[in-house]
Amino acid sequence: MSIRLLALIPVAAAISLALSAAVDAVALPLFLDTTGTILATTLAGPGVGIATGVVTSAVNTLRNPTFWPFVVVQIIVALYAWAAARAGLFRSFRTAVPAGLGLGVIASLTSTPISYLVFGCTTTGGIALTTALGKALGLPPLGACFFGSFLSDFGDKAVTFALVTSVLHALPRRTAARFPWALRAIGAA
């Protein structure tokens, strides 16, 4: 791994953890905690993306210990983002947003069993409340847990994909060309 890609990993992981300040300012129910993983994957491929996801989870665990079991979700996000980058789905919002919605479904399917078995669906306040709403609607416990995860992940991943698309298109071509995957992800190579 080149030194530039090694330097990218902590920066991308820190982006995921620092974006909460921007989310708080606009008061939207989003996490954006996979932004760095998706960005690192689209810039530098799946190895760097997976490393970013693992480092993000490890550092986030020191703030909130419930994050560590979800490291597998970060790995799946990186692999999905790699497939999306290979297909050039970051070339416009019209292709990126549906791809993000697809990731939302996959992420919630992956996170539901972990959330249900380890934490009883109480990983964050928002998910616990939407799970309670699912129970009130008559869903079985696992179904209510998926309902809660789905509501939080579905929009979050679509916004994350749209944001990464914005970043990739805003990067100067010379800067983008220094990363092996950036131009291919936006369909320019």
Partner 1 sequence: MWTAAVALLLTLTPGWRPGLVVFRTALLTAAPFWVFLRLLHDVPTTIAIGLRITTMVASFVWLAATLAPDRLVEATVARGWSVTAAYLFAATITAVPTLRDRARRIVEAQRCRGLSPRGSLGNRLRALRALALPLVLSALHDVDERALALETRGMVSGARRTPLAPPPDSAVERAARWALLAACVAALIWRFK
Site string for partner 1, 40-79 (x = CB under 8 A): -----------x---xx-xx-xxxxxx-------------
Nearest to 157 by CA among 46, 73, 58, 92: 73
Verify binding: residue 136, partner 1, rule CB under 8 A: no
Contact criterion met (CB below 8 Å) for 133 and 127: no
What span, in angstroms and rounded, lies between the C-alpha atoms of 46 and 57?
16
What span, in angstroms and rounded, lies between the C-alpha atoms of 25 and 51?
29
Verify binding: residue 139, partner 1, rule CB under 8 A: no
Verify binding: residue 170, partner 1, rule CB under 8 A: yes
- Helix H or strand E encompassing 142: helix 141-170
DSSP 27: T
Residue 173 burial by CB count (10 A; 0-12/13-18/19+): exposed, middle or buried?
exposed
Nearest to 46 by CA among 100, 9, 3: 9
Residues within window 15-34 making contact with partner 1, judged by CB under 8 A: 15, 17-23, 25-28, 30, 32
Compute how many residues bind partner 1; rule: CB under 8 A.
57
Q: Judged by CB under 8 A, which of 76, 94, 108, 119 binds partner 1?
A: 119
**What is the smallest separation between the CB atom of 156 and partner 1, expressed in angstroms?**
12
Positions that interact with partner 1 (CB under 8 A): 1, 3-4, 6-11, 13-15, 17-23, 25-28, 30, 32, 35, 39, 51, 55-56, 58-59, 61-66, 118-122, 125, 128-129, 131-132, 135, 159, 163, 166-167, 170-171, 175, 178
